[in-house]
Structure formats: C-alpha cells, structure tokens
Amino acid sequence: MTAPGATANLATPPADYRVSYPASWVPRRQLPRSAYLAFLAVGHASNPSCPGPLMLVRRQQNPGGTLNQAVVAYNRVEQLRRPNRRVLAQQPTAVQGAKEAILITATFPRTGVRGATVRSYDLLALSVRGVAFHVFASGCAADLPARFVQRYLLSFNAATGKPGQTAVQP
C-alpha cells in the first residue's frame, strides 16, 4: 500500500529488491557517495536527544564468502566503530527472495550525547540471485516500535519483479 502523496518504484537500477519504509520518512534522492549504498530514508526523532531514525539498503553483487562469515566480519567492524554496542539478538530469519538471512538487534549509546540509547537492526541477506543485501535501521526505541521490524525490515524483498521503494502508513 502506497501512502497518498508518496511515490513508489523509485529505486535506481539495478533494482532487484523492494524496501518499505514509514510514510512519514523521506527517501534521499541523492545518496552519499558509495559503491554499495542503494537506498536511504530518514525520519524525525520523537525526542531531541535521539538521532533521527534512518533506514538504508546496501547492495553487493556476487559477494565472496558465506553469510555467516559476513555476519562475523560485520559484528567485528561494528564493535570497533561502537565499542559500547551490545548485541541483543542474532537470529536466522526468512526474507522473501533470500536463500538465507540473519537479523541482528543491538543497542549502543548515541555518540556525543548523554542518555540516548540507539537501537539498531541489521538484516543481512543473500538473495537467490547471488546478491548480498544489508538493510540497516537505527533510532531510539520510541521511533522504531516493535512492529517496525515486521512491518518494514522483514517485508524486504530481495528478489522481486517489481522493484522499488514504498512508503507505508504505520
């Protein structure tokens, strides 16, 4: 379902995935320069001490190694970037169009601001077409309620005939 005034099917080629995000969030037309960043949407924080929530998709054609190796490497890098990061859960999950996928739920303190704890979700998936995807969302818990994971992250489609981005009402 596309929200009134929202635009669907905006993903730029090669667009072989579908991602949904909250209708109140704004997709960025111009992305920061990266060989892998394919999509970025941002929302507004409900509290000034919280960072603005965001969701992004990274895409890599024909990655080397296994998904489990990618998860181990990703967790190492994140621990270096965010030494106080705490993984709350890491579990295999089903994602449409993926051979395998793992969802990591973590928390970490916001850099430079006291008191704000950021929650992050990392969905790492290997599609049936041999593409590695990393769907990342972060923000304060109030901005990423429990239904966020099911409604947006786990609705990610890693191999679709109708690619694009869709704003969805909460």
Domain spans, the chain: 22-168
- Contact residues for 46 (Cβ-Cβ < 8 A; gap 6+): 140, 142, 143
pTM of the entire structure? Answer: 0.83
Note the helical H segments in 15-141. Answer: 67-81
The domain at 22-168 falls in which architecture?
3-Layer(aba) Sandwich (3.40)
Note whether 75 and 87 are within 8 A (CB).
yes
pLDDT recorded at residue 163: 57
Per-residue pLDDT reduced to its tens digit, 21-78:
999 999 987 777 677 888 899 999 998 888 999 999 988 877 777 888 889 988 899 8
CA distance 160 to 170: 23
Q: Rounded mean pLDDT of 91-115?
A: 87
Per-residue pLDDT reduced to its tens digit, 113-170:
566 889 999 999 998 888 889 999 999 988 998 889 999 999 999 876 655 666 666 5
Task: Return the closest-CA partner of residue 85 out of 49, 58, 122, 59.
Answer: 122
